[in-house]
């Protein structure tokens, strides 16, 4: 049986290029949850799924799901996939590679009419990055039933609630619960994803197996002080929120630099009113802290909250700290990972096991079903950046590993 070949790799890269064009901006790739671009991306992936002979449905959070039945109809499925949303000024592989490798693996069986003892499903998750509503894994959490309906009240930067965004996207928020799958519907979940790090390139390996996914906490900080004239308000009478934020941000960097197992990032800051001759009366900023050690992450978050409150209080500024996201670090399923490693061994001189510093839908899916991840080498480890890139051959190897993993699972 001929395995994926150059054609497969070319099709993969062509499809990546098609999805790269579906963006909110003509100048860079950005595709957020429940936008017109999300709709276009879902429709395009649905078209490829149908052409491959999969039945397609879109659930009430906006996940697009293609299904290829097993030997028996309605058998539990091995689900594979990743997310179709992106960050701002994104790379074109983060998320999309996993959806399209999964589709290529199912196409391999569908083209031959080769049915397995389980169904195969391909999922394009609606939102993993959390760019629009700052809470992540909306798609995978809807499937596992862990999505809190209170999330529907979140407001985006344009003042649109998640509830209204879903209605505009053609969904019924009151039916959100119907996106939940039963644990018995699935036998497992596998996600292919770019490594977003330097290990595979350094080891000169095309793919590697993920051991665990780091825990992450996100904070949304609001500082309320007093706007004023930059020229007339004496320094000791100011309630300057941007200075309070600046002191906090330096503390965050200091705390996270002190421990190699911690990373901390302030990715966004907004000062209002944002004029050079006005003291900022209102400042908001985000905090993202990750660690393989939950204890270290939680301790760092406590320290960071303490510093923010102190930096605010010492300036007569009021601080509001929200925590829209917190996930513990989690190990990938040992059995699925072992089977994937056997397949990796057919294509690599050695099997590299890699912990993930980045978050992935696999972390959410592990709440419901045995799940594992395959990393693909990416140039310079660059990600969340337009220069994100992979070699087509490495993509083809990832597809081969997926196919061989499914064949091994079918023999179990």
Q: At its nearest, how many Å lie between ligand HGY and the CB of residue 295?
A: 20
Q: At its nearest, how many Å lie between Mn ion and the CB of residue 30?
A: 12
Cβ distance to Mn ion smaller for residue 4 or 95: 95
* Residue 94 engages Mn ion in binding (rule: CB under 5 A): yes
Q: At its nearest, how many Å lie between ligand HGY and the CB of residue 396?
A: 24
Pairs from 281-284 (Cβ < 8 Å, separation ≥ 24): 281/224, 281/225, 281/226, 281/227, 281/228, 281/239, 281/241, 282/222, 282/223, 282/224, 282/225, 282/227, 282/241, 283/222, 283/223, 283/225, 283/241, 283/242, 283/244, 283/245, 284/220, 284/221, 284/222, 284/223
* Residue 359 engages ligand HGY in binding (rule: CB under 6 A): yes
> Taking CB under 5 A as the rule, which mask of x and - marks residues 49-88 in contact with Mn ion?
----------------------------------------
* Residue 358 engages ligand HGY in binding (rule: CB under 6 A): yes
Token reading at 285: 């900023």
If contact means CB under 5 to 8 A according to the sort of partner, which of Mn ion, ligand HGY, none does residue 95 touch?
A: Mn ion
Q: At its nearest, how many Å lie between Mn ion and the CB of residue 194?
A: 8
* Residue 264 engages ligand HGY in binding (rule: CB under 6 A): no
Spatial CA neighbour of 118 closest among 399, 335, 409, 323:
409
- The residue count for binding ligand HGY (CB under 6 A) is 5
Specify whether the CB–CB gap between 83 and 128 falls below 8 A.
Answer: yes
Residues 81-140 that bind ligand HGY (CB under 6 A): 128-129, 136
Q: At its nearest, how many Å lie between Mn ion and the CB of residue 121?
A: 19
Question: Distance between CA 293 and CA 224 in Å, rounded?
Answer: 33
For residue 177, what are the CA distances in angstroms to 122, 146, 173, 180, 365? Answer: 20, 10, 8, 6, 16
Q: At its nearest, how many Å lie between ligand HGY and the CB of residue 178?
A: 25
Strand, helix or coil for residue 347: coil
Cβ distance to Mn ion smaller for residue 281 or 359: 359
For residue 339, what are the CA distances in angstroms to 45, 146, 226, 389? Answer: 28, 28, 59, 27
User: Which of the 8 DSSP states describes residue 93?
Assistant: S
Cα 221 to chain centroid distance, Å, stands at: 22
Residue among 81, 95, 215, 280 that touches Mn ion (CB under 5 A): 95
Cβ distance to Mn ion smaller for residue 48 or 375: 375
* Residue 388 engages ligand HGY in binding (rule: CB under 6 A): no
If contact means CB under 5 to 8 A according to the sort of partner, which of Mn ion, ligand HGY, none does residue 359 touch?
A: ligand HGY
Q: Which residues bind Mn ion (CB under 5 A)?
A: 94-95
Q: Which residues bind ligand HGY (CB under 6 A)?
A: 128-129, 136, 358-359
């Amino acid at each position: 049986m001929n395995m994926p070949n150059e054609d497969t790799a070319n099709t993969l890269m062509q499809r990546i290029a098609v999805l790269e064009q579906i963006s909110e901006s003509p100048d860079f790739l950005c595709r957020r949850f429940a936008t017109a671009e999300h709709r276009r991306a879902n429709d395009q992936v649905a078209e490829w799924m149908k052409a491959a002979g999969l039945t397609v449905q879109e659930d009430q959070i906006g996940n697009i799901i293609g299904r290829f039945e097993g030997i028996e109809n309605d058998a539990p499925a091995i689900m594979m996939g990743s997310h179709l949303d992106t960050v701002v000024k994104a790379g074109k592989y983060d998320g999309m590679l996993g959806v399209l490798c999964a589709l290529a693996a199912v196409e391999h069986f569908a083209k031959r009419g080769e049915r397995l003892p389980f169904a195969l499903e391909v999922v394009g998750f609606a939102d993993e990055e959390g760019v629009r509503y700052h809470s992540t894994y909306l798609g995978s959490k809807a499937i596992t039933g862990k999505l809190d309906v209170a999330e529907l009240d979140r407001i985006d930067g344009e003042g649109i609630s998640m509830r209204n965004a879903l209605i505009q996207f053609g969904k019924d928020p009151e039916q959100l619960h119907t996106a939940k799958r039963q644990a018995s519907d699935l036998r497992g979940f596998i996600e292919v994803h770019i490594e977003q790090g330097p290990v595979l390139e350094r080891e000169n390996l095309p793919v590697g197996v993920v051991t665990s996914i780091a825990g992450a906490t996100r904070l949304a900080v609001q500082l309320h002080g007093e706007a004023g004239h930059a020229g007339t308000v004496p320094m000791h009478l100011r309630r300057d929120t941007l200075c309070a934020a600046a002191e906090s941000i330096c503390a965050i960097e200091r705390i996270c630099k002190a421990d190699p197992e911690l990373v901390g990032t302030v990715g966004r800051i907004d000062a209002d009113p944002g004029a050079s001759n006005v003291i900022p009366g209102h400042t908001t900023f985000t905090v993202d802290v990750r660690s393989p050690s939950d204890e270290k992450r939680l301790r760092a978050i406590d320290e960071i909250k303490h510093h923010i409150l102190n930096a605010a209080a010492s300036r007569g500024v009021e601080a509001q700290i929200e925590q829209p996201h917190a996930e513990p670090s989690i190990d990938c399923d040992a059995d699925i990972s072992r089977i994937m490693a056997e397949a990796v061994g057919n294509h690599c001189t050695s099997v590299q096991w890699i912990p993930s510093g980045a978050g992935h839908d696999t972390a959410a899916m592990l709440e419901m079903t045995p799940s594992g991840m395959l990393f693909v080498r990416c140039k310079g480890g660059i990600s969340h950046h337009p220069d994100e890139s992979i070699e087509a051959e490495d993509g083809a190897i990832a597809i081969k590993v997926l196919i061989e993993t499914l064949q091994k699972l079918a023999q179990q």
